[in-house]
Amino acid sequence: MAKSKNHTNHNQNKKAHRNGIKKPKSHRHPSLKGVDPKFLRNQRFAKRGTFLLKTKEQAAAKAAAAKTA
Q: Are 40 and 32 in contact (CB under 8 A)?
A: yes
Question: DSSP labels for 38-61?
Answer: HHHHHHHHHHHHHHHHHHHHHHHH
DSSP 25: P
Q: What is the pLDDT of residues 41-64, one digit of tens each?
A: 999 999 999 999 989 999 999 999
Q: What is the pLDDT of residues 16-33, one digit of tens each?
A: 999 999 999 999 999 999
Phi-psi region of 28 (alpha: psi -120 to 50; beta: other; left: phi over 0): alpha
Q: What rounded mean pLDDT belongs to the chain?
A: 92
DSSP 57: H
Q: What span, in angstroms and rounded, lies between the C-alpha atoms of 35 and 26?
A: 19
Is the pTM value of this prediction over 0.85? no
